[in-house]
Every structure is written in structure tokens, then in C-alpha cells.
Amino acid sequence: MVGALAVLAVVLILWQILPGALNVPRYVIPPLSEVLVALTDPVAFPRYVQNAAATMTEVGLGLLIGVVLGLALAITLTQLPRVYGIVFPYIVAIESIPKVAIAPLFVIWFGFGLPSKVVVVVLLAFFPVLVNTIHGLRNVDRDLINLFRVNGASRMQIQVRLMIPAAMPQIFSGLELAVANAMIGAIVAEFVGAQQGLGVLILQAQGRMETPAVFALLIILSALGIFLNLFVRLARKWIITWERT
Amino acid sequence: MSALVELSGLEKTYATRTGDVHALSAVDLDISKGEFVAIVGPSGCGKTTLLKILAGLEDHTAGTASIGGHPIRTGNGDVGMVFQKATLLPWQDIAANVLLPLSLRRRPTSQDREKAAALLRMTDLEGFARKRPHELSGGMQQRAAICRALVHKPSLLLMDEPFGALDAMTRDSLNVEVNRIWRETGTTAVLITHSISEAVFLAERIFVMSARPGRIVDEITVPFDRERSLDLLGDPEFAALTSRIRTHFEVTHA
Ligand SMILES: Nc1ncnc2c1ncn2[C@@H]1O[C@H](COP(=O)(O)OP(=O)(O)O)[C@@H](O)[C@H]1O
Ligand SMILES: [Mg+2]
């Protein structure tokens, strides 16, 4: 931790000193101080907060829907081996498509407002949860399932008391990927066409060649991403108390 | 003596994509109430299949299989199972794991909890009721798994190579323990093992199976007392029995 903070401090110091020392133009890489000024600008800051809230609404809604759908479909599919055999190749195929590329189409279909962004986020959050949860559910120890069956467990009991808890580590791996994907999805969807959001602000700042503002927005975006990731990892630690080796 | 388990003319064929696998052939076998039976045989001969049929986890293809005079049914709650791995739920403590067979049926009563505590006491795990499985050694986990298999007082205890993953010393001490548990609970036990000496040490009767399709090729009555100690391992009669069983495998592998 101390080492990591030291590295951060060195990077920040170099960021402040190097652009001036190497005569890098301000519009290419501004020194840290100018970025901080842009970040804390009393006029701009409320706009940052407002638009960050818009982006996080897209991310939050999309994650919620995508995760619920991913979990539900994974649980359903693993209980229907026949259907699973037919559907799984398609899941693998779709998973390997760069799905953000579909974002422009969603803007055509669902407009410039919130829905098109949420749909992109759902699509990006859904697959990692689906694939990882399936993986977790299918790898539950056969003997444990047999143990439950021998003791007269119902299908519901097997799911709730065995399969889902046993798949928790993989479910959380899926969630971590989903969270990272969700941020990407929201920003790309905003780039493609939106009225608000951090992606819109980045494009606007870029259009005016306000590079310090672009960096300020990237910092906000990174902070939000790190916060979300941390949240998932804490939840994992809190829920999966048995994972320690 | 009343037969608790009756298998006659039992056949099992698995239909697989690459063709049929004939796992069991004409298995006739009776087990009396309270008896300790061991089944030995080469790997892949159908021992686990036989146990799964007894547990109601697998259907048989032909013949009859009954426990207590009734055809075997899955989940009737009358068997306890121990596997090669302890298969404890890592997210529950040892007490909750032991109570699982009961808690799947109803909310455990204080009597149930007392029963679980008594089993943990019997297996020297008293102090570990609140611990999670990963805090226990492999041998302790397997003892907890045995407690779980007995908590609902099943009429039949099925063990599938329960100590195969443990080191030799742990294995010996667990064998002594299983002998004591069997005597104290009066349960009927079926042990599958590919350790011949383990079978002779624990069982009253041993069935030897042939390579696939598994048939019963020999039945040996073990003449020792119900109570067994590790001294038995040095007994000449013990050695005679193990070598008699071993000849079967030398013949089949020749
Ligand atoms: N579910 C199954 N489907 C197809 N074949 C199986 C299945 N279970 C076991 N077998 C086959 O049946 C034979 C006996 O297996 P098993 O009962 O596990 O043997 P053992 O426990 O004696 O090693 C093996 O050839 C195994 O590959
Ligand atoms: Mg086996």
C-alpha cells in the first residue's frame, strides 16, 4: 500500500514537472496543476457532478437489469441441459463480438435519451455475468448435488442452498467484469449520441481543445470506476467469507 | 437375521454417446441389519455404480433392488452417504453441515442439535462445531462428513472410498473410529474401498468384484470380533485373508 502510494506520488510529481520541462504543448498534456484547476473550477464543477450523475444512472440501471437477467438466464439454462446445448454456442459467439459496436444502432432504435444508454450497458453487463455464472453452476461438485438428492432436497433447495452459494466466486468474477464493462458501455453510448453525461462533456471539451478539462473528466471517470470496482470487491469479501486460503 | 438390503440379478448398463457401458452384471447380494459389509474391486469395476443404486441416485437396468423390503427410492431419507472428499459446504459451520440432512426436511429442533453435538463429541470434534470446514484438517473434515451421514439415523450408511484421499496414518486412526461408530450406533454399513486391508479391518463380510462388467466373484466372512484394534494388522489370520483377496486381482490382471 505504501509502495503503491509512493508510485502515485512520483507519477503526479512527474506529471507536474515534465510537460513544462520538455516543452510539451499545453493542449497535448497540460501540467497537473492546470488539470486540478479545471477540475475544481467553480462554474464547471456543478456541471461535472450533474453529468456524472447522469452517467452513473445509466450505469446503475443497466447493471441492475443486466445482472438480474444474466443470473436468471444462467440459472434457467443450467437446469435445462437440452436447451443449454442448443443455446450455448450462440452465447459463446455473441460473447466474442465487440458489443459496443452495436451502440450506434441502439441510438437509432431508442433515441438520444436514457434508454439507448441503458440498453448498451445491459448488453455489456449481461454477458460476463451469464457466462461466469453458468461456469460456476456447472462446476458444482457432483457429489454435493448427490448428497442433497439423497437427502430428499427439492430442486428449489438445491438451487438456493447449494448451487447459488457454491457459484458465488464465479458470480462475483462476472460482476467485476460487468462493472468495468458497464462504464465502457455508458461512455461509448454517450459518445455516439447523447444530451448529457460525462461522455458528452469529454466530447465538448475536446471540441474546444480544452485538454485540462478532458483530463479532469477522465479523472472523475476513473474515480467512479475505481469506486464501483472497490464496492464489488468489498461485497465479495463480505459475502464469500469462506474463500480465504 | 433379516436382510435389510436385497439385490438380485442386478444389471446396470450406461447408455453413452460412444456406446453402452455394461457396469454391473448379475449382482446378487444381501446385507443384514446391523452388518458391516465391504466391497472391493479394481478401479472402474462398478463399485460406485452399485452404491449409487443403493442410494437411489441411479436406476438399475434389470433385476431387483430393495431396502427394508421396499424398492429403492431417491431421497427417502433413509441412507447416509460419505464420499471420497468430505464435500462439506464451505459457507456453513461444522454444526450446520452436520445438520444438513435434517435441515433439508425441517427446521432442526433442539433434539436434532443435541444429536449433532453428540456425534461431534463421539468423533472428537466437540470444539469445532462453530468452525468453518477450511479450518479443519482433511481427517477432521471427513469425520464431520461421517457425523453428517449419521445425524438423521439412516438405516444404511454408504461410504465410497471415504479415506482414499487421506494419508496412511490418518486413515488408520479413522478406521478405528469408524469401527467404534459402527458398534455404538448399530448402523448397517457398506464400505467401498480399494484398500484390501481396510476392508478386512472393518468389515464382517467382504464382496470381491471382478473388472467390468462388475460381478461378485468372491464372498469372504471375516471371523474377527466386532471390536477391532490396530493390533489386528499384525495378526496372521489378517494376513491370510488379505492375501486370499489379493489373489483375485492378480488373476484378473494377469
Ligand atoms: N454416469 C455414467 N455414464 C456413463 N458411464 C459411467 C457413468 N458412471 C460410471 N460409468 C462407467 O461405469 C463403469 C463403472 O464406474 P464406477 O461405478 O464409477 O466404478 P468404480 O467406482 O468401481 O471405479 C466405468 O467404466 C465408468 O466409466
Ligand atoms: Mg468409484
The mean pLDDT value for B18-41 works out to 94
Does the pLDDT value for residue B169 go beyond 90? no
**Rounded Cα–Cα distance for residues A23 and A169 (Å):** 49
Rounded to an integer, the average pLDDT of B233-253 is 85
- Is residue A219 within 8 Å of A37, Cβ to Cβ? no
Q: How confident is the model at residue A1 (pLDDT cuts 50, 70, 90)?
A: confident
Give yes or no for A215 touching B (CB within 8 A). no
Give residue B95's pLDDT: 97
CATH number given to A42-239? 1.10.3720.10
Q: Quick check: A131 contacting B, CB < 8 Å?
A: no
B165 touches chain A (CB under 8 A): no
Select from 3.40.50.300, 1.10.10.410, 3.40.630.30, 3.50.50.60 the CATH code of B3-78+155-249: 3.40.50.300
Mutate to test the pocket of ligand 1, among B18, B48, B192, B212 (most ligand atoms within 8 A of CB): B48
Q: Which atom of ligand 1 is nearest to the CA of B24?
A: 14
| Mean pLDDT taken over chain B | 92
> Which residues does chain A have within 8 Å of residue B104's beta carbon, measured at their own beta carbons?
148, 151-153, 157, 161
Are B119 and B147 contacting, i.e. CB atoms less than 8 angstroms apart?
Answer: yes
This complex has an ipTM of 0.91
- Cα B47 vs. chain centroid, distance in angstroms? 11
pLDDT of residue B251: 55
Q: Nearest-CA residue of chain B relative to A155?
A: B104
CA A83, A89, A92, A93 torsion-angle sign:
negative
Cβ neighbours around A50 below 10 Å, total: 12
Q: Is A1 on the interface with B (CB under 8 A)?
A: no
- Please give the pLDDT value at position B29: 93
The closest residue, in CA terms, to atom 16 on ligand 1 is B46
Helix (H) or strand (E) holding B31: strand B19-32
Residues 135-154 (B) with a CB less than 8 A from some CB of A: 152
Q: What is the pLDDT of residue A242?
A: 85
Q: Which of B77, B91, B104 sits opposite A157 (nearest CB)?
A: B104
Q: Does B81 touch chain A (CB under 8 A)?
A: yes
Q: What is the pLDDT of residues A119-132, one digit of tens each?
A: 999 999 999 999 99
Q: CA-CA distance, A87 to A83, in Å (whole number)?
A: 6
Domain borders along chain B are: 3-78+155-249, 88-153
Element holding A73 (H helix, E strand): helix A44-79
Q: What's phi and psi for A76, nearest 5 deg?
A: -65, -50
Average pLDDT of span B39-63 = 93
pLDDT tens digits, A160-203: 999 999 999 999 999 999 999 999 999 999 999 989 999 999 99
Nearest CA to ligand 1 atom 8: B49
Ligand 1 atom having least distance to the Cα of B42: 22
For residue A238, what is its C-alpha cell? Answer: 463480505
Centroid of ligand 1 to alpha carbon of B49 (angstroms): 6
The reply to whether residue A162 touches residue B52, judged by beta carbons under 8 angstroms, is: no
Q: Does B134 sit within 8 Å of A150, measured CB to CB?
A: no
Question: What pLDDT does B77 receive?
Answer: 67
What does the domain layout of chain A look like in residue ranges? 1-30, 42-239
Q: What mean pLDDT is reported for chain A?
A: 94
Cα angle A147, A152, A155 (rounded to 5 degrees) comes to 90
Q: Does A90 touch chain B (CB under 8 A)?
A: no
Using the beta-carbon criterion (under 8 Å), do A153 and B101 form an inter-chain contact? Answer: no
Q: How far is B135 from chain A (nearest CA, A)?
A: 10
Structure confidence by residue, pLDDT tens digits, B107-162: 999 999 999 999 999 889 999 999 999 999 999 999 999 999 999 999 999 999 99
Cell for B37? 459389509
A5-59 per-position pLDDT tens digit: 999 999 999 999 999 899 989 889 999 999 999 999 999 999 999 999 999 999 9
Give the DSSP letter string of B50-70.
HHHHHHTSS--SEEEEEETTE
Q: Which of B17, B21, B25, B52 to mutate to test the pocket of ligand 1 (most atoms within 8 A of CB)?
A: B21
Strands (E), chain A: none
CA B187 to centroid of ligand 2, rounded, Å: 22
Cα(A91) to centroid of ligand 2, in Å?
Answer: 35
Q: Model's pTM, two decimal places?
A: 0.88
Q: Among A150, A153, A165, A143, which Cα is nearest to B106's?
A: A153
Residues of chain A positioned with their CB less than 8 A from the CB of B105? 151-152
Give whole-number Cα distances, B139 to A191, A244, B80, B143, B167, in Å.
59, 20, 18, 6, 9
Using one digit for the tens of pLDDT, what is the confidence trace for A47-91?
A: 999 999 999 999 999 999 999 999 999 999 999 999 999 999 999
CB contact under 8 A, B134 and A242: yes
Contacts of residue A157 in chain B, CB cutoff 8 Å? 104
Protein residue whose Cα sits closest to atom 2 of ligand 1: B14
pLDDT of B254 higher than 50: no
Q: Quick one: pLDDT at residue A100?
A: 87
Q: Are strands B216-221 and B79-82 parallel, antiparallel or unpaired?
A: unpaired
Of B75, B91, B100, the CB nearest to A165: B91
CA distance B85 to chain A (A): 9
Sheet holding B19-32, edge to edge: B19-32, B3-16, B62-67, B70-71
**pLDDT, mean of residues B48-59:** 94
